[in-house]
């Protein structure tokens, strides 16, 4: 059994549970406390760079029961600030498991907390909205004012790669530049499967550097933080859009593409995180179950010129996808690469392929 560990929240709430994972650093690490509804895919969640600066709460009680498989990792390491589960499974069972969740958290330097009422904490976040918090060994380690004054800041700059990474498809037919704002490996895999050589480039690259790669298309990746903070990136995306290169935006990439067209975003009360979010296609009237992980959304009352709403969230009617009439571009708020989660919308990668092929014919 672990030693006592506390979660302290900015609204004065304190949860006492038990420690697992990594030891706490000397200086309290503050993060946004958010919840995800995924029943599986916890390794993918922990290694999704979009969770940078956040303390992640799993609403499903059975986490860690199938251990950790290195093949499930979505990035080079975990970027989460902390991890909260109902129970700590010390004896996982799965043929692909290489160890326990507790051991994995230790290798990643991520402190965990278990043995609290996770349902109560989830309800608290749904009522109050996302709350800043931190783990501590004592219930009085930090003041509410210190928590309230904290902000994530520079999240994309922390998670992006520093040098380009190149991947070659088995039978290459196209080249895609994947602009890394916190990309998941699954996006790379979905493109390789479709005959695309992939060049993953850092967030601080310019439009000129990207065009020098002579890409057939550009994928704007997912990522963490407030999209409006990425001023330079937004300017470069606007230049790229003007160049006429086919663009596909996912999650943060969707938001940044809208901002590049002078649209606007807003912060959601508690965000959409998990693998069971219904999204309505306004064109086909079909509803898809999607994987999502975001705290911001594009404002429907401030869309960029040339943007047409294609997808909306069936629960709260927020924007889930845009088609552009002034450029070969489209974007979605959800995750069509979907690991772990439903793969209902993986066809969007095929749509991207078709968009690139059509553009090549027009240029020829």
Q: Domain spans of the chain?
A: 4-148, 155-363
The single residue of 74, 236, 320, 337 carrying the catalytic annotation is 337
Instruction: Give the SS3 label for residue 169.
Output: coil
Mean pLDDT over residues 342-349, rounded?
Answer: 94
The pLDDT value given to residue 363: 65
pLDDT above 70: residue 151: yes
DSSP string for residues in 254-277: HHHHHHHTT--EEEEEEEEEEEEE
DSSP string for residues in 268-337: EEEEEEEEEEEEEETTT--EEEEEEEEEEEE-GGGPPTTEEEEEEETTT--EEEEEESSSSEEEESSBSS
Mean pLDDT over residues 38-43, rounded?
Answer: 94
Catalytic-residue membership of 337: yes
Mean pLDDT over residues 192-220, rounded?
Answer: 98
Catalytic-residue membership of 87: no
**Residues 245-270: tens digit of each pLDDT:** 999 999 999 999 999 999 999 999 99
Between 3.90.650.10, 3.40.50.620, 3.40.50.720, 3.40.50.880, what CATH number should domain 155-363 receive? 3.40.50.880
pLDDT above 80: residue 358: yes
**Residues 96-118: tens digit of each pLDDT:** 999 999 999 999 999 999 999 99
Query: CA-CA distance, 178 to 165, in Å (whole number)?
Result: 10
Q: Are 224 and 255 in contact (CB under 8 A)?
A: no
Query: Residue 48's pLDDT band (boundaries 50, 70, 90)?
Result: very high
Return mean pLDDT, the chain.
96
**Alpha carbon separation from 135 to 5, 19, 262, 280 (Å, rounded):** 7, 9, 39, 38
**Residues 300-331: tens digit of each pLDDT:** 999 999 999 999 999 999 999 999 999 999 99
Catalytic-residue membership of 236: no
According to DSSP, the residues that pair with 16 across neighbouring strands are 6
The single residue of 134, 196, 251, 319 carrying the catalytic annotation is 251
Task: Enumerate long-range contacts of 163-169, CB under 8 Å, 24 or more apart.
Answer: 163/202, 164/199, 164/200, 164/201, 164/202, 165/199, 165/200, 166/197, 166/198, 166/199, 166/200, 167/192, 167/197, 167/198, 167/199, 167/200, 168/197, 169/194, 169/195, 169/196, 169/197, 169/198
CATH of the domain spanning 4-148? 3.50.30.20
The pLDDT value given to residue 338: 85
The pLDDT value given to residue 340: 75
């Amino acid at each position: 059994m672990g030693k006592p560990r506390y979660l302290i929240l900015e609204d004065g709430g304190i949860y006492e549970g038990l420690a697992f994972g990594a030891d706490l650093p000397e200086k309290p690490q503050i993060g946004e406390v958010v919840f995800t509804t995924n029943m599986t895919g916890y390794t993918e969640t922990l290694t999704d760079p979009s969770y940078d600066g956040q303390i992640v709460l799993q609403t499903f009680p059975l986490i860690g029961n199938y251990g950790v498989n290195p093949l499930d990792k979505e990035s080079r390491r975990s970027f989460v600030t902390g991890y909260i589960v109902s129970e700590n499974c010390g004896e996982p069972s799965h043929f692909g498991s290489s160890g326990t969740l507790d051991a994995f958290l230790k290798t990643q330097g991520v402190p965990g907390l278990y043995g609290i009422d996770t349902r109560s904490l989830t309800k608290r976040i749904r009522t109050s909205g996302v709350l800043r918090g931190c783990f501590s060994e004592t219930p009085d380690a930090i003041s509410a004012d210190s928590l309230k004054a904290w902000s994530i800041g520079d999240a994309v700059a922390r998670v992006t790669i520093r040098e380009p990474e190149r991947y070659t498809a088995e039978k290459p037919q196209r080249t895609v530049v994947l602009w890394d704002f916190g990309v998941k490996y699954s996006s790379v895999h979905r493109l390789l499967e479709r005959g695309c050589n992939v060049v993953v480039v850092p967030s601080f690259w310019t439009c000129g550097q990207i065009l020098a790669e002579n890409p057939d298309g550009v994928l704007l990746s997912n990522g963490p933080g407030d999209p409006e903070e990425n001023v330079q990136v937004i300017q470069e995306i606007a230049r790229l859009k003007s160049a006429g290169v086919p663009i596909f935006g996912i999650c943060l990439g969707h938001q940044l593409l809208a901002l590049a067209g002078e649209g606007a975003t807003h912060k959601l009360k508690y965000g959409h995180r998990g693998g069971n979010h219904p999204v309505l296609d306004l064109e086909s009237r079909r509803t898809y179950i999607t994987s999502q992980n975001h705290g911001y959304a594009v404002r429907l009352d401030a869309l960029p010129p040339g943007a047409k709403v294609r997808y909306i969230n069936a629960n709260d009617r927020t924007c889930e996808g845009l088609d552009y009439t002034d450029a070969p571009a489209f974007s979605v708020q959800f995750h069509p690469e979907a690991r772990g989660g439903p793969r209902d919308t993986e066809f969007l990668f095929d749509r991207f392929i078709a968009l690139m092929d059509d553009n090549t014919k027009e240029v020829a």
